[in-house]
Amino acid sequence: MTYFEELEIGARETLGRHTFRQEEMIAFARLYDPQPFHVDPEAARRSHFGALVASGWHTAAMWMKFFIAYNVGSAKALEAKGGRMLEVGPSPGFTNLRWLKPVYAGDTITYATEAREKIATRGRPQWGLLKAYNSGTNQHGDLVIDFESAVLVARKGG
């Protein structure tokens, strides 16, 4: 993430990769999505998925983890170059989230974000609104999750 003025529409940034391990999938799902095909490998084998799959919320929350880590990394890089530490504002929500394919134990998901639209917000001169397309793709190149977000990004003069 860079300053609002420097964001390039259409630029796709890879945020990071994560291999979903069975133990973490089960630990997450026990708390937040305790359906048998998310928490019980034996029951999952007998379900229509045929094997344990990650909760879609786990796949989504992991995107957030990589988004934050990526922003912290690029803010530090900017600061090292003499820029100001960036702030990404809180998110009001997102739209059009789709879970397109199951995520199985051992799958490696590559998370990405792509700038789609920049909107200068009136009355908030220090921020600009960035609309982005976010995704997770598995090791076979299949899209497993995507959604659109809107986030406030600091402007240079702010």
Q: Which stretch binds another protein (CB under 8 A): 3-11, 55-63, 73-81, 116-124?
A: 55-63
Contact status: 98 vs another protein (CB under 8 A): yes
Binding of residue 34 to another protein (CB under 8 A): yes
150 touches another protein (CB under 8 A): no
Question: C-alpha distances in angstroms, 17 versus 11, 73, 112, 135, 137?
Answer: 18, 15, 9, 12, 9
Does residue number 85 form part of the binding site for another protein (CB under 8 A)? Answer: no
Nearer residue to another protein within complex by CB, 8 or 35: 35
CA–CA dist 2, 77 (Å, integer): 10
> What is residue 24's three-state secondary structure?
helix
Check binding of 20 to another protein (CB under 8 A).
Answer: no
Q: Does 123 contact another protein by CB under 8 A? A: no
Give the total residue count for the chain: 158
Complete DSSP assignment for 41-62 = HHHHHHSTTSS-B--HHHHHHH
Q: Tell which one of 91, 108, 121, 139 touches another protein (CB under 8 A).
A: 91
| DSSP code, position 111 | E
**Smaller CB separation from another protein, 120 or 143:** 143
48 binds another protein (CB under 8 A): yes
**Cβ-based nearer residue to another protein, 8 or 45:** 45
- The amino acid that residue 148 corresponds to is E
User: Does 60 engage in binding with another protein (CB under 8 A)?
Assistant: yes
Report the C-alpha gap between 88 and 2 in whole angstroms: 10
Distances (CA, A) of 77 to 58, 93, 111: 29, 27, 20
Residues that bind another protein (CB under 8 A): 31-37, 43, 46-48, 55-57, 60-62, 64-65, 68, 88, 90-99, 147
